[in-house]
Amino acid sequence: MLILKGNKNNSENVTISTSEGLKDLQESKLKEYHISEIIDLKSKAKILHLPTTNYEENVMQLFKSWKNNLIDFNIQISTGRVVSFRSRDLLFETYQNTTIFLTPLYWLHNVTKMSINWPNFIPKKSQYINMTEKSEKLLLPNKNFVFLRRFSSKDDKSRLIAAPYFSHYNKNKLIGVENKLNYIYNLEGELQENEAVGIAALLNSNIFDTYFRTFNGNVNVSATEIRLMPFPPIETIREVGNQLIEKNDYSEKTINEITSQWLIENIELIND
């Protein structure tokens, strides 16, 4: 639960009080911040960050040191175009070996951390969409993407769950992405393999998940929020991808080992 309280004064300081619940409400932890530390009033979005631990503060400082968003690398994020209930006549549960031209349709449940699991048959979650003149505007060119879930469940340990998708996963020219998935792509060409792996790995890391939780208190992951998130330089993103590809190890443990080192280095830089 979040409670906001304000009063009219000239103070530029904000006090954040945190507790686990009623049991420790009287002994809640208090921390004071200058307002500029938790919200950029000059920005259009004016996103409010609420750090509750020293670790979250350090993560926020790391993100502030990054000066780029994905768009600076000609990379964009959008929401899947296929709304299932509006496209029922185009969707098929299983492959039809007929004159119908079917292509994969990717849903939220097809995406786990660093992995695409397709087909993954679940009732009413059709894994194919018909390629017709009607559906063409709903489909995407089959190229390298990063798929990011738009929603997480309360049981998920992470809010951000992403996986790289590569064009060689199927031979069709077009694919479908359901509306509960975000997709990340290069605006003019195609994501390099190391870029797709690197971006997906960052989104799955503890550091990115922690930063996301400082300003998002629900289970939704909007494309707008990811557009506004700072990212390290594209060379760093590619290097992360290269390391994981070379190791052939996409585990959370390896991802967090790589990214946590940045946090250590950033803290040392601040202290110096």
Segment 117-129, tens digit of pLDDT: 999 999 989 999 9
Residues 6+ apart with CB under 8 A from 147: 106, 110, 111, 116, 162, 163, 164, 165, 177, 181, 182, 183, 184
Question: Rounded CA gap, 78 and 22, in Å?
Answer: 40
- Residue type, position 124, single letter: K
Prediction pTM value: 0.91
Give yes or no for a contact between 201 and 255, defined as CB atoms under 8 angstroms apart.
Answer: yes
The confidence score (pLDDT) of residue 17 equals: 79
Task: Give the pLDDT confidence of 249-267 residue by residue, as tens digits.
Answer: 999 999 999 999 888 787 6
The confidence score (pLDDT) of residue 155 equals: 73
The confidence score (pLDDT) of residue 94 equals: 80
CB-neighbour burial class of residue 147 (10 A; exposed 0-12, middle 13-18, buried 19+): buried
Measured in Å, how far apart are the chain's first and last C-alpha atoms? Answer: 37
Query: Which residues of the chain register pLDDT less than 50?
Result: none
Question: Rounded CA gap, 108 and 219, in Å?
Answer: 13
CA distances from 3 to 7, 15, 17, 216 (A): 14, 12, 10, 14
The confidence score (pLDDT) of residue 150 equals: 97
Q: Decide: helix, strand or coil at residue 33.
A: strand
The confidence score (pLDDT) of residue 217 equals: 79
Task: Give the pLDDT confidence of 135-159 residue by residue, as tens digits.
Answer: 999 999 999 999 999 998 767 789 9
The confidence score (pLDDT) of residue 156 equals: 78
